[in-house]
Chain A
Amino acid sequence: MSEASEVSVAAEAGRIAVRKTYKLYIGGAFPRSESGRSFTVRGSGGGFLANAALASRKDARDAVAAARKAFPGWSGATAYNRGQVLYRVAEVLEGRRAQFADEVRLATGRSPAAAFAEVDAAVDRWVWYAGWSDKIAQVRGGANPVAGPYFNFSVPEPAGVVAVLAPQDSALLGLVSVIAPAIVSGNTAVVLASERYPLPAVTLAEVLATSDVPGGVVNMLTGRVAEVAPWLASHMDVNAIDLAGAPGALADDLAVAAADNLKRVVRLPTADWTAEPGLERMFGFLETKTVWHPMGM
């Protein structure tokens, strides 16, 4: 297959397609890497798809700063509001099914039907998590019957800024399955997209940018896991890290680096992304806060 043929599939015959520049997504904007670097992304057949931004340490730190800035607003939003925003993501993604199916197919070489199935599952996953936003506190928290004249209750709260290493083997569904559980409870995220499939991640960022997700809540980096992930794992203003996309040996190193400021480390067995997610990922980025107050006259 020629290089040109892969990217022009969507274009009509005889028309020169307007290609997209795939950039990073930081603080609600789409900058290139400050390093000026990019890397070639090829389709499943080996043909050229696009040049993606090759994120640097500086980009990662900018993304953390943007995520930190967005945290008070997003964690302070009502659960109902966050649920609606996540549902809005599903709506907007649904409207772009064909585009995402194309991207998944080009990236992975899956059949059109399989690509559509993955996109549909990704839409449904947003819907699933949207419904969780205002239920987590009741499942995870509650009143504690202490032996004294006190009202005492525990509530789950977001851990803060979460670094998410998206799974390498999934172009869209795995990506959605690690972003949604982090942000549904009010965390903000710095996501490092799959190295093999960075383009659907950048396009997903366009969906997030137009779905009422406040800028900075999700920041998308594309680049090399081995280069960028260590900076995220050792960053003192990151509160938690999901190691889904880190290969075993690197994951050990990242978990060790994460101990520098005692990040919450979510390191779950490889998931079947098509199965209904458990609660571990969502709960892994939560703290429990317990509040006491005396009762009396």
Chain B
Amino acid sequence: MRFEYAPAPEARSIVTLRDSYGLFIGGEFTAGSSVFKTISPATEEVLAEVTHAGPEDVDRAVAAARQAYERVWSVMPGRERGKYLFRIARLIQERARELAVLETMDNGKPIRESRDTDVPLSAAHFFYHAGWADKLSYAGFGPSPRPLGVVGQVIPWNFPLLMLAWKVAPALACGNTVVLKPAETTPLTALLFAEICQQADLPPGVVNIVTGDGTTGQAVVAHPGVDKVAFTGSTAVGKEIARACAVSGKRLTLELGGKAANVVFDDAPADQAVEGIVNGIFFNAGHVCCAGSRLLVQESVAEEVLGALKRRMAALRLGDPMDKNTDIGAINSRAQLEKIAELASSGEAEGAERWSAPCPLPDRGFWFPPTVFTGVSQAHRIAREEIFGPVLSVLTFRTPAEAVEKANNTPYGLSAGVWTEKGALILWMASRLRAGVVWANTFNRFDPASPFGGYKESGFGREGGRHGLEAYLDVPGGGDV
């Protein structure tokens, strides 16, 4: 049965796009060396022109951050710093709809997600960390922990504003100043956040935002005036940054890729588990480092679960991200679409069976249908490599021990899921899965009070909670939490 829905598009009029955006340095938008365009991945229309920050622009940003650090931010009492963060949290709430619409325009994710997840969580992150600013002495990192200085932060395109919040809020709460490089394809909410910093009267230079491509990120990370680097992105780039920081001695935290196992036991409530599987891999079109991209289902219920999963997938609505009924939005860029398509064809070439939900794809923009592969072996690339798209690989197991063995058979270790009614089995699994976050009978939950981060090649350091503060305080060995 197929239900028809009337279109329910969110209004774009709440967003006022400028033709061109400068670099946010020292509290003002300033011109840079060159410009590039950012497009809507759902329509390929040009949204705005954005400035590319070259090395001299990054120099200016770091200098502004250094000055703000030394003269203002590091000497300001924590309770005053906290008030600025509370202000920012409130401003994000006040401008929530505008941020959500802009995020969806620039990123391609469904408005339902940006409205209900990205933006509220971003505000919550600032609200949570605001309260830490004057309580750091009680956080367990010594009697009066000091900030690190100027922090260089490079963030990805999958949760542009939320990743900004994860990075900027703890850095500022701990007394650091920031040079942030948003992703090349999703700079707009960061630039709107710059306006929010202005509205909050945040002292100039405390937050600096330099837009650009990978070379800009590299300039930020390599800049000698940067004391600490925080990066969220691919494992390959993370390793390069780790090598550079090994020599320069900069503090480093990394939040990298994943290939999470979502383990479904035979006693799991089927409907809930299927919702969990769908949320695990199709939330944000699978553009999630902790996505449950490997489904491990117990052999005895594999057929039943797959049947229910395919029925559910057939009901997913793919299309206009601005439509409030849309479940699956656009792939963020042509390059990412090509990567997903390439990996998916490798699945077919290596002998796995491909099934895609029968949904029409829009003519313009970048789209990939929700897809599931069965008959996947652990040797297949689709079982080993992060796909970062709406593609699920299904493997089966017979015993809990086999499930653990297969789940842990990856160089990654960011997240994992477990579905069963047995409490003892949940805790047994949770203690054996080598992953930084374990979701039991749920998946893809996030909270500013909950530490997030990976084992092994998924990176090091935690974001969120008391644990996340360590990355931004001058604690010996800090960061490798």
A: which residues have CB within 8 A of B?
139, 142, 144-148, 150, 152, 154, 159-160, 239, 252, 255-256, 258-262, 264-269, 278, 280-281, 283-284, 286-294
| Of B411, B440, B453, the contact of A293 (CB 8 Å cutoff) | B440
Q: Contacts A139-B140, A146-B449, A252-B247: A292 and B462 contacting too (C-beta < 8 A)?
A: no
B451 touches A288 (CB 8 A): yes
| 11 further contact pairs, Cβ within 8 A, besides A284-B477, A288-B436, A288-B462 | A147-B449, A160-B434, A261-B457, A266-B477, A269-B476, A290-B452, A291-B439, A292-B437, A293-B440, A294-B441, A294-B442
Scan residues 374-419 of chain B and give those whose CB is less than 8 A from a CB of chain A: 411
Scan residues 414-469 of chain B and give those whose CB is less than 8 A from a CB of chain A: 426, 430, 434-442, 445, 447, 449-453, 455-457, 459-460, 462, 465-467
Give 8 pairs: A residue, B residue, CB < 8 Å, sorted on A. A144-B447, A152-B449, A260-B239, A264-B480, A268-B476, A283-B481, A290-B450, A290-B465
B39 touches A (CB below 8 Å): no
Scan residues 139-162 of chain B and give those whose CB is less than 8 A from a CB of chain A: 140
With A and B bound together, what is the CA distance between A288 and B454 in angstroms? 8
Find chain A residues with CB under 8 A from B435 CB: 289
With A and B bound together, what is the CA distance between A146 and B239 in angstroms? 32
CB distance from A12 to the nearest CB of B (A): 49
| Of A148, A150, A152, A259, the contact of B243 (CB 8 Å cutoff) | A259
Find chain B residues with CB under 8 A from A154 CB: 450-451, 465, 467
B124 touches A (CB below 8 Å): yes
B451 touches A290 (CB 8 A): yes
B: which residues have CB within 8 A of A?
124, 140, 235, 238-239, 242-243, 246-247, 254, 256, 411, 426, 430, 434-442, 445, 447, 449-453, 455-457, 459-460, 462, 465-467, 475-477, 480-481
Find chain A residues with CB under 8 A from B254 CB: 262
| Of A139, A148, A258, A261, the contact of B456 (CB 8 Å cutoff) | A261
With A and B bound together, what is the CA distance between A209 and B427 in angstroms? 33
CB distance from B267 to the nearest CB of A (A): 16
B246 touches A255 (CB 8 A): yes
With A and B bound together, what is the CA distance between A153 and B475 in angstroms? 23
CB distance from A194 to the nearest CB of B (A): 22
With A and B bound together, what is the CA distance between A239 and B459 in angstroms? 12
Find chain B residues with CB under 8 A from A267 CB: 477
With A and B bound together, what is the CA distance between A265 and B461 in angstroms? 12
CB distance from A163 to the nearest CB of B (A): 15
Q: Contacts A256-B247, A261-B411, A289-B435: A266 and B480 contacting too (C-beta < 8 A)?
A: yes
With A and B bound together, what is the CA distance between A145 and B124 in angstroms? 13
| Of A144, A260, A287, A294, the contact of B449 (CB 8 Å cutoff) | A144
CB distance from A182 to the nearest CB of B (A): 13
Find chain B residues with CB under 8 A from A262 CB: 235, 238-239, 242, 254, 256, 456-457, 459-460
Q: Contacts A287-B455, A292-B439: A265 and B467 contacting too (C-beta < 8 A)?
A: no
With A and B bound together, what is the CA distance between A44 and B427 in angstroms? 54
A259 touches B456 (CB 8 A): no
Residue of A with least CB distance to B128: A147
| Of A152, A260, A280, A293, the contact of B476 (CB 8 Å cutoff) | A280
Find chain B residues with CB under 8 A from A159 CB: 455
Find chain A residues with CB under 8 A from B426 CB: 293
| Of B411, B434, B480, the contact of A284 (CB 8 Å cutoff) | B480
